[in-house]
Amino acid sequence: MTPAGFSRVEFSRPIDRRHLTARPIRLEATAEERQVLAKRFGLIAIHRLEAEVELVADGEAVNARGRLGADIVQSCAISGDPLPVTLDEPIALRFLPERATEEEEVELEESELDEIPFSGSVFDLGEAVAQSLSLAIDPYATGPNAEQARKDAGLSDEAASGPFAALAALKKK
């Protein structure tokens, strides 16, 4: 049975904190899940998405530590060419029961930034891995043809077109 709210997520892996084991959990996205996630993250393709995560209960919270691995194809930020990228990233998350807040604005401490709230006893480890993947993607990655694409578009390097280029041109006069 899928808990309410988890069926709409592309890479859903609900975990009940009451049934944690000492063994690490291995997640691997199916071809269909990778295709939908690629669309969600604006990628050309995701050929591999997997993670191995150890879950440790800490009172009502659950600490998750492990690694995420992925082979993706994204577009070069300059040329638009397909750019294959292999990612190998650490995962360190903390799942906490939702807490009621009466404040409209909540300030988070640095240690709270990777905290993920959940309701009841179930949290979605797959969605957390998917979000970790999205954060690991370099939105400005450039491929081997980027410099040529810049030249073809009439864009020069930063030194020739930066803020001091106009001053250098005035100095030459």
Give CA–CA dist 162/156, Å, rounded: 9
Q: Where are the domains of the chain?
A: 14-142, 146-173
Residue 154 C-beta-side C-alpha neighbours within 13 Å: 0
pLDDT in tens, 79-97: 889 999 999 999 999 999 9
pLDDT in tens, 48-87: 999 999 999 999 899 999 999 999 999 998 888 999 999 9
pLDDT in tens, 113-164: 578 889 889 999 999 999 999 999 999 998 888 888 888 877 766 555 556 6
Distance CA 137, CA 71 (A): 11
The per-residue pLDDT for 101 is 59
Query: Any residues with CB less than 8 A from the CB of 149 and at least 6 apart, and which?
Result: 76, 78, 79, 80, 81
pTM: 0.78
Q: Are strands 61-75 and 82-97 parallel, antiparallel or unpaired?
A: antiparallel
So what's the pLDDT on residue 6?
Answer: 47
User: pLDDT at position 100, please?
Assistant: 62
